[in-house]
Amino acid sequence: MSAFPDSAELEALRLSLEVACRSVAFSLPLAVLVAWVLTRARFAGRAVLDVFVHLPLVLPPVAVGYALLLLCGARAPLGVWLRAHFGIELPFTTAGAALATAVMTFPLMVRAIRLSLENIDRGLDAAARTLGAGALDRFCTLTLPLMLPGILAGAVTAFAAGLGEFGAVITFAANIPGVTRTLPLALYTAMQSPDGDALALRLALLSLALGIAGLLVAELLARRVRRLLGR
Amino acid sequence: MLRVSLAKRRAGFTLTAAFAAPTPGVIALFGPSGSGKSTLVEMIAGLLEPDEGQVELGGTVLTDTRRGIAIRPERRRIGYVFQDGRLFPHLTAGGNLRYGAKRAGAAPPYVRFDEVVELLGLGALLARRPHELSVGERARVALGRALLSQPQLLLLDEPLASLDVARREEVLPYLESLRDRLSIPMVYVSHQFDEVLRLATHLVLLDSGRVLADGPVTDISLRPELRPLIGPDLVGAVLDGLVTSVDAPGGTVQLAIGAGTLQVSLRGVPVGARVRVQLLARDIILAIQPIQGLSVRNALLGTVTEVSAGDAAGVLVAVDVGGARVLARITEAARQALRLRSGDAVWALVKAMSTRGHAFRVPASPEPPARSPS
């Protein structure tokens, strides 16, 4: 980045924020859908989907990154198809870093949304039916607003976790300054270089400040929403 | 008419219930907890699928398992007031009311927003959220929300069950005015007999998933099937009568009942009003000859139609007093002393004061008016 050529911290911060934002934006609608399906729908293979969604929590992040390379790498079928049809290049790009982050934080998001969904009184749905509301109507006017606390919590958690995603990003998107070198990757790089101690400390402190800010925002949002819902 | 004939099997419980009741009117489903009342209304609403059966309202078939008809709840236009209110927590009271109103469809509304707000006294509550309302207020908002969806039938599943006595007294008059001012058919589920007496026109007795009896409240009040459900103390004939004269200073009115009149302690009703009284069997004295010098205001001459076998609570004697029937509970010893048998002429003595507290405004329709003497 040319705006702050000397400021590795700012560049890493900007990249981290961008990657986390894009990852949340990409995965949130999908997470709402998957959480809804896992909570409300009854179908064969629900357990399989459940396990699949939670895999990134238990796999080594490097393995997730490697799996993404196998799937969406430059010569992998999905990667070839994406480039041919949409011109989307994933490996070694910021978009790729966002995808890797999204996959890693997806289970966190689904869990938070699912929790709030399970807390919704199913009786409210029956009440809405007797008032003449069809399925889509009920989802938009009842389920969605009532799961808003979970959606917000999921988004904030995933965002905060996404700022620090390391293993999957470095495996799938590599460590390219200005493209995929996010805060943790910059910190790692600084620690590896003989004269990077001061930079490493600054990056670590920056991560700490960012984490605290994220948690505070999450708490404020949660309070506001709780008051709105009268709980 | 509301015609219901439904069967539902669940683990350890089978419901097989059928009844038909005139509409508009208040149909009370009365029975102990676990008798299948809620299951029945859930099936009427379409929220629960019956194993087999039919539901028909005003000539429209809503459910028919044999013909594969199962209209979805959101299309039935049946309002449902749940025991726990089920207000939407993210909307204000006004938002809850409008939720139903917005989805009422193209048909012209028969109750308007302002009318419901006025009828249920909701004006001051509209901007509040459900958690800022008292239980009684929540019950009223839930009622208003169901009404504003312009239902063809209103199901009330023990809407007062979560309220204490004082709060119930706060909501009951609203239910009465709904019945009297909007002629909307209602199914009222309750295990409180006093609520049934105040509101119902038609009574369906349910126990262990079966209909024990159903018919007009006045008829069912005499039926033996009711007695175990309400206990000996509440047994007594329910009579609907017309107020023929009012003694305002004395606080009593004359009611035309059957071929005779009954003086009851009641204030605030005009001549011509229809009034329901329950004459508790334990309050009625039987005499085999006219009696002088008693404070009792009513001596109804009648004929004994039935003497039930005695039990721990005594003997129940049914007396026809010119078209209406009353029940009296006397001791076995008294029955033997009077040698009471079917066909005997007796005077039923009723204290005007003993009807106090059992005098309710009777539904204006659709029950046949009290058999007036003229």
Taking the Cβ of residue B129 and every Cβ of chain A, the question of whether any pair is shorter than 8 Å is answered with: yes
Measure CB to CB from residue A123 to each of B82, B90, B105 and give the nearest one. B82
What is the SS3 string spanning B96-118? HHHHHHHCCCCCCCCCCHHHHHH
- Which of B43, B86, B145 to mutate to test binding with chain A, by most A CBs within 10 Å of its CB? B86
Taking the Cβ of residue A133 and every Cβ of chain B, the question of whether any pair is shorter than 8 Å is answered with: yes
Q: Return residues 12-51 of B near A (CB < 8 Å).
A: 45, 47
CA distance A124 to chain B (A): 6
What pLDDT is attached to residue A4? 41
> Of A217-226, B223-232, B361-370, which range is least confident?
B361-370
Q: Report the Cα–Cα distance between both ends of chain B, in Å, rounded.
A: 30
Give strand pairing partners of B322: none
Count the helix, strand and coil residues of chain A and give each as a percent rounded to the nearest 5: 75, 0, 25
| Confidence tier at B41 by pLDDT (50, 70, 90) | very high
Taking the Cβ of residue A127 and every Cβ of chain B, the question of whether any pair is shorter than 8 Å is answered with: yes
What pLDDT is attached to residue B268? 80
What pLDDT is attached to residue B12? 84
CA distance B40 to chain A (A): 15
- What 3-state DSSP class applies to A34? helix
- Between chains, do B74 and A130 touch, taking CB under 8 Å as contact? yes
Q: Which residues of B touch A231 (CB under 8 A)?
A: 89, 131
Q: Which residues of B touch A119 (CB under 8 A)?
A: none
B373 pLDDT more than 70: no
Measure CB to CB from residue A228 to each of B79, B90, B99 and give the nearest one. B90
Count chain A–chain B contacts defined by CB atoms under 8 A.
Answer: 68
CA distance A231 to chain B (A): 8
Measure CB to CB from residue B74 to each of A129, A141, A230 and give the nearest one. A129
Tell me how crowded residue B11 is: count the other CB atoms within 10 A of its CB: 4
Extract the tokens encoding B276.
């329901």
What pLDDT is attached to residue B31? 92
Maximum mean pLDDT: which of B152-156, B164-168, B223-227, B365-369: B152-156
Taking the Cβ of residue A42 and every Cβ of chain B, the question of whether any pair is shorter than 8 Å is answered with: no
What pLDDT is attached to residue B191? 87
Average model confidence (pLDDT) across chain A: 88
State the Cα–Cα distance between residues B81 and B168, nearest whole angstrom: 15
What pLDDT is attached to residue B153? 94
| Confidence tier at A230 by pLDDT (50, 70, 90) | low
Task: Dump pLDDT digits (tens) for A112-157.
Answer: 999 999 989 999 999 999 999 999 999 999 999 999 888 988 998 8
Taking the Cβ of residue A126 and every Cβ of chain B, the question of whether any pair is shorter than 8 Å is answered with: yes
Helix axes B93-102, B135-148, angle to 10 degrees: 20
Instruction: Check: CB of residue B46 under 8 Å from CB of residue B70.
Output: yes
What pLDDT is attached to residue A6? 52
What pLDDT is attached to residue B251? 85
Which chain B residue is nearest to residue A228, measuring alpha carbons?
B90
CA distance A30 to chain B (A): 24
- Between chains, do B89 and A231 touch, taking CB under 8 Å as contact? yes
| Confidence tier at B370 by pLDDT (50, 70, 90) | very low
What pLDDT is attached to residue B360? 52
Q: Report the Cα–Cα distance between both ends of chain A, in Å, rounded.
A: 46
Taking the Cβ of residue A2 and every Cβ of chain B, the question of whether any pair is shorter than 8 Å is answered with: no
Instruction: Check: CB of residue A88 under 8 Å from CB of residue A72.
Output: no
Backbone angles phi, psi at B320, to 5 degrees: -85, 115
Task: Dump pLDDT digits (tens) for A97-112.
Answer: 999 999 999 999 999 9
Taking the Cβ of residue B341 and every Cβ of chain A, the question of whether any pair is shorter than 8 Å is answered with: no
CA distance B344 to chain A (A): 55
- Between chains, do A133 and B90 touch, taking CB under 8 Å as contact? no
Task: Dump pLDDT digits (tens) for A209-220.
Answer: 988 888 888 888
Average model confidence (pLDDT) across chain B: 87
- C-alpha radius of gyration, chain A, whole number: 20
- Between chains, do A229 and B82 touch, taking CB under 8 Å as contact? no
- Between chains, do A126 and B77 touch, taking CB under 8 Å as contact? no
CA distance B39 to chain A (A): 14
Task: Dump pLDDT digits (tens) for B292-317.
Answer: 888 888 888 999 999 987 677 789 99
- Between chains, do A131 and B77 touch, taking CB under 8 Å as contact? no
A5 pLDDT more than 70: no
CA distance A146 to chain B (A): 7
| Confidence tier at A22 by pLDDT (50, 70, 90) | very high
Extract the tokens encoding B54.
């039919």
Burial B62-101 (b: 16+ CB within 10 A, else e): bbbeeeeeebebbebbbbbbbbbbbbbbbbbbbbbbbbbb
- Between chains, do A230 and B100 touch, taking CB under 8 Å as contact? no
Task: Dump pLDDT digits (tens) for B127-159.
Answer: 999 999 998 899 999 999 999 999 999 999 998
Instruction: Check: CB of residue B132 under 8 Å from CB of residue B120.
Output: no
How much of chain A, in percent, has pLDDT values that exceed 90? 58
Taking the Cβ of residue A146 and every Cβ of chain B, the question of whether any pair is shorter than 8 Å is answered with: yes
- Between chains, do A132 and B103 touch, taking CB under 8 Å as contact? yes
Measure CB to CB from residue B90 to each of A128, A131, A229 and give the nearest one. A229
Which chain A residue is nearest to residue B146, measuring alpha carbons?
A131
Q: Which residue has the tokens 């911290």?
A: A9
B259 pLDDT more than 80: no
Task: Dump pLDDT digits (tens) for B270-284.
Answer: 888 888 888 899 899
- What 3-state DSSP class applies to B342? coil
What pLDDT is attached to residue B106? 65
Mean pLDDT along residues A41-45: 85
